[in-house]
Structure 1
């Protein structure tokens, strides 16, 4: 099939990006359109945080050498382009003379490289903000033409703008969701919860003034059912609105831990005083992690390390539970881990999840504060 012209390709990618509202499907789709609509054979995108740690967030048509062992060569260690990006020395589309990732993969799997030896790279940015790198490669190509690099610059600008738009939209949606959850929590507490409590008290009182055994049993059933409903309502309200967060993050965590019967062991460095929007996300991350301890680890204790300085906030949670294979779950995380990753992404943080079977789980989240 004939490749589209550069103008029509950019138009096609722009139209696709304008319709996308989910970050990862946007990057996968845009990368696929770039590879399929150009002379490039493969491509991949790294997100890079403020500490220079990278995450492989999209890839298309990578050769088997680079996908080996869950993309081991793409996800582990560092490389020149990631380091140069972090040091702000990589500012435009550039040819990479030697890629250590490709070199390592070639040494181990020489017959599975699809003749990929070099790649070109370009920062993804929107205005002064940078998000990561877009990389492309073509078989038997050591140097990419100025036309190739110009196309790469144009697509990177489009993707960078789309990333910024989705981030802003997600922030607006999250603020709206928080306001709606708080309103719903107030309504449930002030109306439904109070009615259930009143029903429980009434049933208890009615049971004490009748001597009929059948009536006493019926009122007892109503009282017990009402209490169960009150407990369920409390749990729902707790999910909607962080109870106790007005007294501080640690106080809220202690309350929730007590409620789900998990014992937290705290270690705190510095004064924990987070902005409201970040604080609620951090609380939800810890809440989800505690839920995972309760449901999956077969443990009732969790270590929670909190550290805050002028520039960053660090959270580290660990347990000594049954753990899981973090390599297998990295490409298809559970619902709980997806929530944790998404919340970390919204507040521009970096997350590392380490777990081994029968050796427990550790989750570390680092969030920039400036």
Structure 2
């Protein structure tokens, strides 16, 4: 099939980016358009947060040597392009003469390189902000033309602008969600919660004015069921609105653990004094982790370490429960885990999850301040 012209390709990518609203899908789709519409045969994107942790978020048609063991050679060690990006020395599309990651993969699986030995790289940027690296390669090609590099610059700028747009849109949506959650929490507390509490009190009083066993049992059942509903409603209200957060994140989390009926062991290092946006999102991440412990870990104890210094906030959430297999494909579709990762990225944080079956779970979040 004939490749589109450069202008037509940029138009196709721009139209796709304007419609996409999810960051990872957007990056993968744009990369696929680029590879399918040019002479490049493979490409990959590193998403790099403010903590300079490169994450391989997308790749298209990697040769066997680079895709082995879940892209092991793409994800381990260091390379010139990432180091140059981190040191602010990579500002435009460049030829990479010697890539240590490709070299290691080619040494290990020489017969599966498909001729890929060198690649071109370009930072994903919007204005002064940078978000990661776009890399492309072709078989038996050791350098790429100025025309190729100019095309990469254009595509990288399109992707960077789309990332920035999605970030701003997500922030606006999150602010709207917080306002709506607060409104729902108020409505539930002022109406449904009060009605349930009234039913409970009425059932309790009715037990004292009847001598019939059947009636007493019925009123007792109504009272107990109403109390369970009140407890569930309180938990729901706490999930919608972190009541008590104005007294500090530790206070709010302790209160929430009481509602969940789990034990929360907290260790604090340094003075925890956070901007409200960071505090709200960290609270939500820990809240989700506690919910997961309650539902899935087969343990009623969560250990929390909060450490703040002059440059960062470090959060460790640990349980010694049943754990899970990080390699399970369904984890990629887990709403809870994806929500935690999204919240971490919204505050420029980096989240790492370690877990094994029957070995518990350890979630670490580092947020630059």
TM-score grouping bracket, smaller chain normalisation: over 0.9
Aligned residue in 1 for 2:148: 148
Q: Which moved more, 1:282-291 or 1:157-166?
A: 282-291
Distance of aligned partners of 1:232 and 1:322 in 2 relative to their CA distance in 1, 3 Å threshold: closer
C-alpha deviation, 1:242, in angstroms: 1.2
Gaps of 5+ in 2: none
Aligned residue in 2 for 1:201: 201
TM-score by length of 1: 0.96
Alignment of 1:1-370 (within 5 A): 1-328=1-328, 332=332, 334-369=334-369
C-alpha deviation, 1:50, in angstroms: 2.4
Q: Which moved more, 1:314-323 or 1:5-14?
A: 314-323
Contact 1:50 1:86 in 2 (8 A): no
Distance of aligned partners of 1:79 and 1:333 in 2 relative to their CA distance in 1, 3 Å threshold: farther
Q: Which moved more, 1:223-232 or 1:90-99?
A: 223-232
Gaps of 5+ in 1: none
Aligned counterparts of 1:258 and 1:10: Cα–Cα separation in 2: 55
Q: Which moved more, 1:359-368 or 1:209-218?
A: 209-218
Count of aligned residue pairs for this structure pair: 369
Aligned counterparts of 2:51 and 2:235: Cα–Cα separation in 1: 37
Aligned counterparts of 2:211 and 2:163: Cα–Cα separation in 1: 70
Distance of aligned partners of 1:330 and 1:142 in 2 relative to their CA distance in 1, 3 Å threshold: farther
C-alpha deviation, 1:328, in angstroms: 4.4
Contact 2:97 2:118 in 1 (8 A): yes
Deviations 1:241-298 (A, max 9, x none): 1132121001111112222233222222221111111111101111111222223333
C-alpha deviation, 1:13, in angstroms: 0.3
Deviations 1:332-367 (A, max 9, x none): 253322121111112121111122333322111111
C-alpha deviation, 1:76, in angstroms: 1.8
C-alpha deviation, 1:8, in angstroms: 0.4
Contact 1:35 1:60 in 2 (8 A): yes
What RMSD over aligned residues (CA atoms) do the two structures have, in Å? 1.6
Q: Runs of 4+ in structure 1 displaced over 6 angstroms?
A: none
TM-score by length of 2: 0.96
Q: Which moved more, 1:162-171 or 1:289-298?
A: 289-298
Contact 1:70 1:327 in 2 (8 A): no
SS at match of 1:332: helix
Q: Which moved more, 1:277-286 or 1:162-171?
A: 277-286
Aligned counterparts of 2:294 and 2:79: Cα–Cα separation in 1: 39
Q: Which moved more, 1:171-180 or 1:242-251?
A: 242-251
Contact 2:51 2:349 in 1 (8 A): no
Deviations 1:290-340 (A, max 9, x none): 222223333332321112223221111222233233344597253322121
Aligned counterparts of 1:322 and 1:262: Cα–Cα separation in 2: 16
